[in-house]
Amino acid sequence: MASLTQYSTGLVAGISHWGGAFAFDGSAYGKALDGYCGGGAGGPLVLFDGDAGMVLSPLDNFLTGILALQNHTESSALVAGVQGNVTSLPPGYSLSFVIAAQSTGRITGTLNEWGSIMRRWHGTKRHQDLINKKLGYFTDNGAYYYGGNPPDGATLGTVIANLTQQQVPMQYLQLDPWVWKGYLATWPGGDLCEFTASPELFPQGFEELFKTAGVPLMLYSMYWCTKSEAIYELPFVYSEPYYDAFKKKNRTYGQPAPNSSYLLYNRIMSQHAAYLGAFEVDFMYVSLESITMFRRNATAAKDWLQGMNDAAAEHGVGIQYCMGLPSLALQSLEFNAVTNFRASDDNDAWAAYGVAPDRWRIGYTALLLQALDLAPSFDVIWSTAQQPGSKYNCTLGPQHSCTRPNIELEAAVSALSSGPVSFGDGPGFADRSLILKTCTKAGTLLHLSRPATPIDRTFHGALGNGANSSDVWVGHTALQGDATVGLSWAVLAVAVSPHFNLLTSDLWPRPSSAQHLLAIDTTTEQVFSFSEKESLWLETEPAKGPERPFKLYTVVAPCPSGAAFLGEQGKYAAISPQRVQSIRCHDRGICVELKAVEHREVIELRFWGKEQGVSYVSLAVGPLGVTHCT
């Protein structure tokens, strides 16, 4: 049993950690180990002091290996070992922990180095899947259509077909559990018993929906009911019965037994193989914390996940983990079919008005997920603020109206997450111009190379603490070509009032101390000089109620000639590796090579010159790509 002791005099300047289901608890940071969330719900621990940083975590067997805090009268000891719920260990079982440290990496750099070590150790090579690459339409809690407002197959197929006619390029359709046979009869808080389409809503199965919509489906799983064992004639494992006050009845959670996990998931994926594009597993923390075998057997939960992963890999579909613990994010290092991880709770309209505001704040969780090469996923969003006919709190009074206060911010956060982007608008409410800020005309998502996450100074208290503090996030894109101009940054400033001075040392990767940069405000199109001697003044309107004003900047390095590429106009990720192949300097200007696209589209690029300032160039991009030089 290893331990690290912090005496009352203090050991480090601060800590950062992640704990609980990300959907609810997210991440936290402070100045003492006393606030560390350890145990089965805990995750990696970051210690930092100035530029130095250190990460501590399990190296393997993540679902049983834990860090925990033991408080004593004069000191607090951080201990490492096996979860106390585990009653026995199999022969040959071993458990290792890792410490990764950097003297100059701060938090972001040290986490990235730790993540690199972890991925190399486990040979992690995530699959490239549909939902991380293409725009999606969602029907989960937060969408216009969901279990409280379920459409039938004909309606849903028509919605997608109409969006296609309007040139809104939805490339897949997510279906929540309301689509499964018998689920709505037990809704809300329904039971998933059988992976068969509801005959009431989909009388011809999903085949007809697939034919009408013309896009693959993302299918949803969670815990199973006690009838599933007889339906599939496979063994399941269960939680202890408990009284569900919400449903006013006794409930039991179930999952396939470890030795039947692959058999079940392979069977249901084969059943829907003709249109299956992706697979979502929800309420994962519930299964881990409630199912008796998963808590007491050291390998059962891992074997359950392994079977699911192997089935998905055979069928070529990616898996989204939803409402998962940090240990699940780490365990996915061994499961290459797991491509993305929900970093927010359900984004329903009520949340913005006090139940759980600021669900867009996924950057803190993204800091951990990106180190593991897991794409952070923000939940479904709307592209118009008011959508009459939705079932969200419209009758609860003006303080709980159907209005979404931060649709632009949520769209920007989704695009800058480098993960899935999913809209859930009702019929006739899709704002094509806003949706296309996240993707190409054909629905390919425009990402950064690394998602936007809070700057390191956030964790030193530079932006304030608590729910009402400001947020400044930075992500970057790294392209082929000239190493200097091929690196650019996106800076998201949310509710920064009064102003905040961003330093070049806040960017990651850090530019050289002598480097001169340019920053363009993507709303006003103003360009600012940015260097070690000239900070970037960030200021927005103050937050008002649930509204969070924001500004987005693209930061670039100019060529020796002074010419610079300022990115694509009208996109949140203005310089994206999905759009731009390379950037190169020449004697008198700059060249930008754009990637080929399947469907021809005209895009607007921004350039900078010492004499002419900002200039705009319209280019047609097609199957052969195009290069433009100034």
Q: What is the pLDDT of residues 307-358, one digit of tens each?
A: 999 999 999 999 999 999 999 999 999 999 999 999 998 887 666 555 556 8
Q: Which residues contact 137 (CB under 8 A, 6 or more apart)?
A: 159, 160, 163, 170, 172, 173, 174, 215, 422, 423, 424
3-state DSSP assignment of residue 180: strand
pLDDT higher than 70, residue 616:
yes
**CA distances from residue 114 to 57, 107, 120, 594 in whole angstroms, order as listed:** 9, 10, 10, 33
Query: What gap in Å lies between CA 623 and CA 599, rounded to an integer?
Result: 7
Query: Which residues is 340 bridged to in the sheet?
Result: 320, 375
In this prediction, residue 353 carries a pLDDT of: 57
What are the tens digits of pLDDT across the range 540-568? Answer: 999 888 889 999 999 999 999 999 999 99
Confidence band of 8 (pLDDT split at 50, 70, 90)? very low
Contact 143, 175 (CB under 8 A): no
In this prediction, residue 10 carries a pLDDT of: 37
What are the tens digits of pLDDT across the range 48-95? Answer: 888 889 999 999 999 999 998 887 666 678 899 999 999 989 999 999
In this prediction, residue 481 carries a pLDDT of: 78
Q: Which amino acid, residue 58?
A: P
pLDDT higher than 70, residue 5:
no
In this prediction, residue 527 carries a pLDDT of: 98
3-state DSSP assignment of residue 349: helix
**Is the pTM above the cut of 0.85?**
yes
Say how many residues make up the chain.
630
Structural domains of the chain, ranges and CATH numbers in brackets: 2-122 (no CATH), 130-445 (3.20.20.80), 451-629 (2.60.40.1180)
Which class for 506: exposed (0-12), middle (13-18), buried (19 or more C-beta within 10 A)? buried
Q: What is the largest CA-CA distance in the chain?
A: 76
Q: Which residues contact 394 (CB under 8 A, 6 or more apart)?
A: 388, 401, 402
**CA distances from residue 397 to 174, 346, 400 in whole angstroms, order as listed:** 31, 21, 6
Confidence band of 247 (pLDDT split at 50, 70, 90)? low
- % of the chain residues with pLDDT over 90: 73
